[in-house]
Amino acid sequence: MSLVGLKGMSRERLVGLLDAAQSFLDASGKPRTPAWAQNLLADRAVGLLFFEPSTRTRVSFELAAKRLGATVINLNAYESSLKKGETVLDTVLNLEAMGMDVFVVRHGQRGIPAELDAGVRAPIVNAGDGTGEHPTQGLLDTLVLRRRLSDLGGAELAGRTITYIGDIKHSRVVRSGANALRTLGATVRLAGPDALLPEDASGWGGAEIVRGGRAEALRGADAVIVLRIQRERFPAGQLDEGGYGQGWRITREALEAEAKPDVWVLHPGPVIRGEEMEGEVADGDRSLILEQVSAGVAVRQAVLLDVLKVGVSWRQAMSRDA
Ligand code: NCD
């Protein structure tokens, strides 16, 4: 089974993935691969096909696969036969014919992972498709928030408010994360300047749009997920750049004046310091940014095992854990 998006994912699969990922984190939230898991993918080959820039997502998929014992092949899209005009589907079919078992795909065009999923037998993992979805990012954000905000340490985020702030309209991070957070019962709000908000939130998993300014956006939030302005996805001039900085940048002063004192601050990266967020907030004691990055490795381990149907009884595994 592939992982193309979180929209429509059953609660059972979602919680199963989060619980599995949790078993790849230590008590402080750092990645760790227990001895029982180190060879689970020893006979599998994982293909990483990244047609867009990536640091965290690509490296953490590679690390996740290698820590489970897999062979990893990085296809440099810019040096392959794709440059000669071969389609992505043909490329993947050829790699599959060599015996590769799973493909992790990032592409600037929405829908490519779903197309590949329809055309090849191997599972496809969407690592971000244009303004479509970014399911592993949505999972890792949900994992971190569940760890920090769930009173029971269990699955529930009911009664919690998570607010995404910034470039909502072009964000695949929101489209995935909002669905997962809503499934766990959280209230999800979307805020940003009008030019960067969608007309309606129907594609955003039951999230609510908060109109108004930064103060309204921050009010009452248990966590805010700040997003980069994705200029590569919209024409220049669509945004009043000066206005963004004045009105929306997340600063220490704004958090102190407008947010709950115990608000958590997240960002999927890359953080453009001084633009959507001040560096001192990114580095501050309410920031979970590096904890997100750590969780990313664990989530990608859980996802690779899930799509490759490597059955592990997590409870059992944890009980014989070293
Ligand atoms: C995001 C992406 O590529 O969608 N980054 C990431 O995967 N960590 C967000 C972004 O580019 O702003």
Distance CA 238, CA 195 (A): 7
User: What mean pLDDT is predicted for residues 199-214?
Assistant: 85
Tell me the torsion sign for CA atoms 137, 138, 142, 145: positive
Please give the distance, rounded to the nearest whole angstrom, from the Cα atom of residue 201 to the centre of ligand 1. 20
Does 155 have pLDDT greater than 70?
no
Tens of pLDDT along 242-291?
778 779 999 999 999 999 999 999 999 999 999 999 999 999 999 999 99
The predicted pLDDT at position 204 comes to: 77
Q: Is 269 in the pocket of ligand 1 (CB under 6 A)?
A: yes
Q: What letter represents residue 38's amino acid?
A: Q
Whether residue 105 contacts residue 126, with contact meaning beta carbons closer than 8 Å, is answered with yes
Whether residue 1 contacts residue 17, with contact meaning beta carbons closer than 8 Å, is answered with no
Please give the distance, rounded to the nearest whole angstrom, from the Cα atom of residue 123 to the centre of ligand 1. 22
The predicted pLDDT at position 238 comes to: 82
Please give the distance, rounded to the nearest whole angstrom, from the Cα atom of residue 132 to the centre of ligand 1. 12
| Ligand 1 atom at minimum distance from 172 CA | 4
What is the per-residue burial (b if ≥16 Cβ within 10 Å, else e) of 3-21? bbbbbebeeeebbebbbbb
Q: Please, which pLDDT band fits residue 45 given cuts at 50, 70 and 90?
A: very high
Q: Is 296 in the pocket of ligand 1 (CB under 6 A)?
A: no
Helices first, then strands: H and E counts in the chain: 12, 9
Q: Please, which pLDDT band fits residue 312 given cuts at 50, 70 and 90?
A: low
User: What mean pLDDT is predicted for residues 28-33?
Assistant: 96
Which uninterrupted H or E stretch holds 90?
helix 88-97
| Ligand 1 atom at minimum distance from 56 CA | 8
Q: Is 230 in the pocket of ligand 1 (CB under 6 A)?
A: yes
| Ligand 1 atom at minimum distance from 269 CA | 8
Please give the distance, rounded to the nearest whole angstrom, from the Cα atom of residue 273 to the centre of ligand 1. 15
The pick from 50, 52, 57 for probing ligand 1's pocket by mutation, whose C-beta has the most ligand atoms within 8 angstroms, reads 57
Distance CA 2, CA 129 (A): 14
Please give the distance, rounded to the nearest whole angstrom, from the Cα atom of residue 259 to the centre of ligand 1. 25
Please give the distance, rounded to the nearest whole angstrom, from the Cα atom of residue 268 to the centre of ligand 1. 6
The predicted pLDDT at position 202 comes to: 72
Does 12 have pLDDT greater than 80?
yes
Which is more confident, 156 or 101? 101
Which is more confident, 83 or 208? 208
Q: Is 126 in the pocket of ligand 1 (CB under 6 A)?
A: no
Q: Read off the pTM.
A: 0.95
Does 292 have pLDDT greater than 80?
yes
Q: Is 57 in the pocket of ligand 1 (CB under 6 A)?
A: yes
Please give the distance, rounded to the nearest whole angstrom, from the Cα atom of residue 312 to the centre of ligand 1. 30
Which is more confident, 89 or 239? 89
The predicted pLDDT at position 3 comes to: 98
The predicted pLDDT at position 14 comes to: 96
Distance CA 142, CA 176 (A): 10
